[in-house]
Amino acid sequence: MPTSLAGATALVQRLVDEAHHTVFFGGAGVSTESGIPDFRSQDGLYRQEYDYPPETILSRGFFRAHPDEFYRFHRTRVVHMDAKPGPAHLALAALERAGRLDGVITQNIDGLHQAAGSRRVIELHGSIWHSHCGTCGRVFEGLDAIMGPEPVPLCPCGEVIEPDVVLYEDPLDADVIDAAIDLITSADLMIIGGTSLVVYPAAGLVDFFRGDHLVVINRDGSAPGHHRAQTHVITESIGAVLGGLRVG
């Protein structure tokens, strides 16, 4: 385990330079440096007080039964319209442009990787930037359709608009999972950042990695059990580590 930020950056730099195929797997900690709160930390959404537990509000059953309460929470606590890409987002996009990163797999729904310029982004849990009508199938791009003044956004057909995010009780999209597995199995270096790896089935995707080196950048120091690769645990800011990499 590196004992300094400089040492951590040097380690990741060497591994990226030596790798032929690198993939990044990220979670909420990548976006906390952009001002978006995570869920499970001391100040995260799950530690705040609401009329219903956030896990309940963000469930499919609650959405169907109480769309007004769901959207009140979604608009004020999940959607952060003014958030900008942070140093980790920008560094990953630069690595991809330079041909040093095959793609990003993210548990986040904020779209900040794309805003930073990343092109191959696999969003395991969907995106706040897309929504649809579950009845007529109409698709809505952007946030205008769900951020209006009415308590519950409605499709022109009269039905409730659904954000394209994976809620509790929802399965993950099979095609998305397959794309993530393909990216992971082809990599010889996997960098995991900003995730506690406790949300399944997404966290289980790490088990498909068969490469040589697994880097975990997480301030709490947790790392997945992995016996096939050499695991390097870095307890530094993910933005500081990745932001310090030389791309050229």
The letter for the amino acid at 59 is S
Active site residue 125: yes
- Residues 76 and 226: their CA atoms lie apart, in Å, by 38
3-state secondary structure of 196: coil
Catalytic residue among 125, 130, 213, 232: 125
Contact between 59 and 168 (Cβ < 8 Å): yes
Q: Going by C-beta distance under 8 Å and a sequence separation of 6 or more, which residues neighbour residue 240?
A: 5, 9, 87
Contact between 66 and 50 (Cβ < 8 Å): no
Rounded to 5 degrees, φ, ψ at 128 are -70, -15
Contact between 86 and 33 (Cβ < 8 Å): yes
Rounded to 5 degrees, φ, ψ at 4 are -150, 160
- Residues 220 and 190: their CA atoms lie apart, in Å, by 19
CA dihedral 36, 108, 5, 103 (to 10 degrees): -140
User: What is the full DSSP assignment across 21-87?
Assistant: SEEEEE-THHHHTTT---SSSTTSGGGS--SS-HHHHTBHHHHHH-HHHHHHHIIIII--TT----H
Q: Which residues are catalytic?
A: 125
